[in-house]
Amino acid sequence: MSNIRNCTRCGKMFNYIAGDVICDVCKKEIEEKFQEVKKYIQDNPGSGLKKISEDCDVTAKQLKKWILEERLMFSEDSPIQITCENCGARIVTGRLCAKCKATVTNALNDTVKQRQQALAAELAKKQAAQKSDSKSGMKFLKT
Ligand SMILES: [Zn+2]
Ligand SMILES: [Zn+2]
């Protein structure tokens, strides 16, 4: 099934599959830009978002997206301050610090575990019910 959409970056029509509504040509250009920005930050660790965005000709929005995707990292002395969304601790990339991330992951794991246990218990109950059913069925057949 084809899904023709307009690229949100260049406006061209393309066959959309998943993720951002961006055509392959633009995706490649963005990737090249990312490598350029990454190198720029390595070479100029003291640059702020505005300077990076001007020097590399990339929007601050795109830079922030890369930060949230944990693709761009900033050193301790960088003027770009990224803080944990949960506790406000200074972090180098992403949205959460390592500690909060671990807590979130643990909480998620617990929920998954609980759900799996509940499912397993239900399944066992069903199987037990089926067994007794087939047993009574056999009895019925015999008599
Ligand atoms: Zn495009
Ligand atoms: Zn935190």
- Tens digit of pLDDT for each residue in 27-59? 999 999 999 999 999 999 999 999 999 999 999
Q: Which residues span the domain enclosing 64?
A: 29-96
Same domain? 35 vs 84 = yes
- Show the CA angle centred on residue 93, arms to residues 92 and 98, nearest 5°: 80
Contacts of range 29-35, beta carbons closer than 8 Å, 24 or more positions apart = 30/62, 33/58, 33/62, 34/66, 34/71
Q: Is 4 part of a structural domain of the chain?
A: no
Ligand closest to 83 (CA) is 2
Same domain? 37 vs 90 = yes
* 81 Cα to the center of ligand 2, angstroms: 14
What residues have a C-beta under 5 A from ligand 2, the ion?
A: 84, 86-87, 89, 97, 100
Same domain? 76 vs 127 = no
Same domain? 58 vs 81 = yes
Global pTM exceeds 0.85: no
pLDDT at 138: 58
Q: For residue 53, give the nearest of 37, 42, 69 by alpha carbon.
A: 37
Least confident of 60-64, 84-88, 107-111: 107-111
Distance CA 123, CA 143 (A): 30
Q: How many domains does the chain have?
A: 2
* DSSP string across 104-133: HHHHHHHHHHHHHHHHHHHHHHHHHHHHHH
Residues 6+ apart with CB under 8 A from 48: 79, 80
* 29 Cα to the center of ligand 1, angstroms: 9
Average pLDDT over the chain, rounded to an integer: 89
* 86 Cα to the center of ligand 2, angstroms: 5
